[in-house]
Amino acid sequence: MRQDARVGVDVGGTFTDLVTVRDGRVEVDKVPSTPESPAEGVLAGLDGVGVPPAAVGFLGHGTTVATNAVLEGTWADTALVTTAGFRDAVEIGRQTRPDIYDFRAAKPVPVVPRDRRYEVPERLDERGRVVEPLDESAVRELARDLAATDTESVAVATLFAFENPVHERRIAELFREEGVDAAISLSSTVLPEIREYERTLTTALNAGLVPVVDGYVGAIADGADERGVTAPLRLMGSDGGLATAASARERPVETLLSGPAAGVRGAAHVAANAGGGVDAEGTPAGGEPSGYTDLLTMDVGGTSCDVSLVRDGEPLVSTETTVGDYPVSVPSVDVHTVGAGGGSIARVDDGGALQVGPASAGADPGPVCYGRGGTAPTVTDAHLLLGRLDPDAFLADALDTDADAVRAAFEPLADELGQSVREVAEGVLAVADAETERALRVVSVERGHDPRGFALVAYGGAGPLHATSVAERLDVPRVIVPRAAGVLSALGLLVSDVTYDEAASMVRPFAAVDHTALEERFAAFAETGRDRLREAGHDRDEIGVERSLDLRYAGQSFELRVPVPDPEATTAESFRETVRERFHERHRRRYGHADRGEPLELVTVRLRARGAVEPPSLAVDDHDGSVEAARRGGRSVVFDGRERETAVYDRASLPVGGELAGPAVVEGGSTTLVVHPGQTARVDDRANVVVDTGGETA
């Protein structure tokens, strides 16, 4: 699929980022987000990209609309229909409590209140065989009652529907026949997998999000069409693949981690091509091997910090994702989030300790230094006070910075803590760094990965401000700051493939699985996936399929995903042996042990159809210039409690191959990099800045 201009749009808490790639050139734009009407910010950004609408051949979007609706509880009025006797499964949940030692801890508020949850007589067994036929008269009576209400959406989750969807589909048919004018989500479509609580909850959330996301996506699609953009809208899914607008509107729950997933995908792509050197003539040279495939990623935006781990070039994907208080069991890039963004507000807690976040100044009014009326001291304000941001150049085109107002905002904290304003500002950054370090330990050390063997990719508007200090704390040897670090999530939309996923649970001993039936299931999934991608405009030779199984040792509670070989490459017996060996090895890597004598159990069959896209070239043509010519001068910056005269460089003017030593500040149009004393930085052949922190390599 060849395109003219490719445009990626990512909506953050403070800014909406746009990246446009045309004729090999990468152009970056930022516009303020519009939280009250997010589509307006997206369309305003499209108006300013400088590309004729008819020339846009690709439009990708990362959205937080579904996420915000879940966090704020603003989903649509939803009803739940389930098997008789299972009305309260979504409220009972699991036996675990939010805090095991807190006897007053409350479980999450059910997505659907009890008076909106309805039972229908029917029953399937664990293999999908009909034990009790569906009572269609009861369903019709319920449908007539719902048709007379203002219900916007209906979730249908019946027992063992993942083995046989016949009753769920018939319920939907009867509802339509009786005039129910509401969006209907079936668990057999949204999440045809085991675990009643997670399946019912995820289906209910999907139902509640359909009207919200449908209206939002429709507004963007209509607005783009009115502007003359003919390219179909693609939305980033939580699993790191792009989905069609129709798929996102049908299964919006799969977009809950849309923005963070795009950033991790962009980080993996940039890092895989990073690190190359250049010779005296400015052309790529040998030396240090180019590319990094084992990564920690760190996206610091206005409201939060999202961290993740990439192994062998691929983001880790999990089905154990929590959004707010709700465990949502859809495949998602494994992202851990803490409230330590640039707009996170500093305060003193009841115990007299300095805290940062999770409350944020957001996009409006934003940090004090934005000059929009903000009065609460934030992380970004602390950077400005310590000299890491220049008040005379900080986003000067859009914002009016008042350094005196920033200092005044910190004075109450200084008085309360008995410290100077500078000491409080240093404390704010130390707390924010500690929060980020803990988050990175969650996705690395706590899961058996040694950070010393990884590179840290820093992005987001504030990521490079913190990355070099956090990397030192973790002994991460290198930090990669992409050329488009401030808008990497938007860039990630342009390097991601369009995907379509199918899955269904088949819980049975692996040794007893009928190989022919399994291959028939895979074949049906593949046919559906290819059909969906062909409808989205992909040719047959652009479509690939990836097959996997979720397996566990018999008796375990949770499973591991294992890629399986193509049918042409194996016989039934070699297929089983290959899959067993892959499972044991993955179990050993994840948990430190494996028992090849233990029987395995199949849990879920999965297939991903992937429509390949041609990623834009990020090569840099102009290698001219010098580091000295890129120097803007210097200013006093605080490091480790003392002021140091620090060189300041213009990121856009740094030449490929250029090297510099800390302390230094590298200022760009969308982000600022701080190089600490003792660290060195080099510009690679893709204009990424690679910082050597001096950390020990594992």
Average pLDDT estimate for 384-393: 86
Name which of 377, 461, 390 is nearest 427 in CA terms: 377
CA distance 186 to 151: 16
**Domain membership flag for residue 622:** no
Is the model's pLDDT at 442 over the cut of 60?
Answer: yes
624 found inside a domain: no
User: Which residues touch 517 (CB under 8 Å, ≥6 apart)?
Assistant: none
Q: Give the residue from 431, 452, 469 where a domain finishes.
A: 431
Q: Is 621 within the bounds of a domain? A: no
Residues of the chain with pLDDT > 90: what percent? 54
Cα separation, 473 vs 434, in Å, equals 9
Do 294 and 327 sit in the same domain of this protein? yes
Question: Are residue 285 and residue 393 in the same domain, yes or no?
Answer: no
* Angstrom distances, CA of residue 379 to CA of 135, 358, 359, 384, 656: 59, 12, 12, 9, 31
Q: Above 90 in pLDDT, residue 339? A: no
- 3-class secondary structure, 442: helix
Q: Which two tokens stand for residue 587?
A: 């179990």
Q: Domain with 570 in it: what CATH number?
A: 3.30.1490
181-194 residue pLDDT tens: 999 999 999 999 98
In this prediction the pTM is 0.85
Q: What is the mean pLDDT of residues 655-663?
A: 91
pLDDT at position 478 is: 95
Strand partners for 610: 499, 544
Range of the domain at 572: 499-611
405 assigned to some structural domain: yes
Reply yes or no on whether the pLDDT at 655 is more than 70: yes
- Domain count for the chain, please give it: 6
Inter-residue contact 193 to 604 (CB < 8 Å):
yes
In a domain, 619, yes or no: no
Residues 473, 326 within the same domain? yes
Does position 436 have pLDDT exceeding 80, yes or no? yes
- Domain shared by 133 and 181, yes or no: yes
- Answer yes or no: do 13 and 94 share one domain: no
Domain identity same for 461 and 537: no
Residue after which a domain boundary falls, among 255, 283, 310 = 255
Q: Do 256 and 328 touch, CB atoms closer than 8 A?
A: yes
**pLDDT tens per residue across span 590-644:** 888 999 999 999 999 999 999 888 777 777 766 678 899 999 999 999 999 999 9
Q: Give the 3-state secondary structure of residue 624.
A: coil
Indicate if 507 and 526 belong to the same structural domain.
yes
Same domain as 53, residue 125:
no
pLDDT in tens, 267-295: 999 999 887 654 444 444 444 446 899 99
Same domain, 510 and 602: yes
Bridging pattern class, strands 314-315 and 305-311: antiparallel
Closest C-alpha among 671, 623, 668 to residue 650: 668
Distant-in-sequence, close-in-space partners of 565: CB < 8 Å, separation ≥ 6: 575, 578, 579
CA–CA separation, 694 and 451 (whole Å): 14
Is the same domain home to 328 and 350? no
- Does residue 300 form part of some domain? yes
Residue 154 predicted with pLDDT over 70: yes
pLDDT value at position 440?
Answer: 95
Report the alpha-carbon distance of residue 47 to residue 227 in Å, rounded: 8
Predicted confidence at residue 150, as pLDDT, reads 86
Q: Is the pLDDT of residue 12 over 90?
A: no
For residues 315 and 279, the answer to whether their CB atoms sit within 8 Å is: no
Q: How many Cβ atoms sit within 10 Å of the Cβ of residue 145?
A: 14
Q: Do the domain assignments include residue 529?
A: yes
pLDDT band at 400 (very low <50, low <70, confident <90, very high): low
What radius of gyration do the chain's Cα atoms show?
Answer: 26
In a domain, 639, yes or no: yes
- Please tell me whether residues 203 and 93 are part of one structural domain: yes
Task: Give the pLDDT score at 465.
Answer: 94
Residue 30: band (very low, low, confident or very high) from pLDDT cuts 50, 70, 90: confident
**What is the 3-class SS of 20-70, one letter each residue?**
EEECCEEEEEEEECCCCCHHHHHHHHHHCCCCCHHHEEEEEEECCHHHHHH
Task: State how far the Cα of 526 lies from the Cα of 534, in Å rounded to an integer.
Answer: 12
CATH number of 479's domain? 3.30.420.40
Say if residue 389 is in the same domain as residue 453: no
Tokens found for residue 687 = 């204009």
Q: Is the pLDDT of residue 1 over 50?
A: no
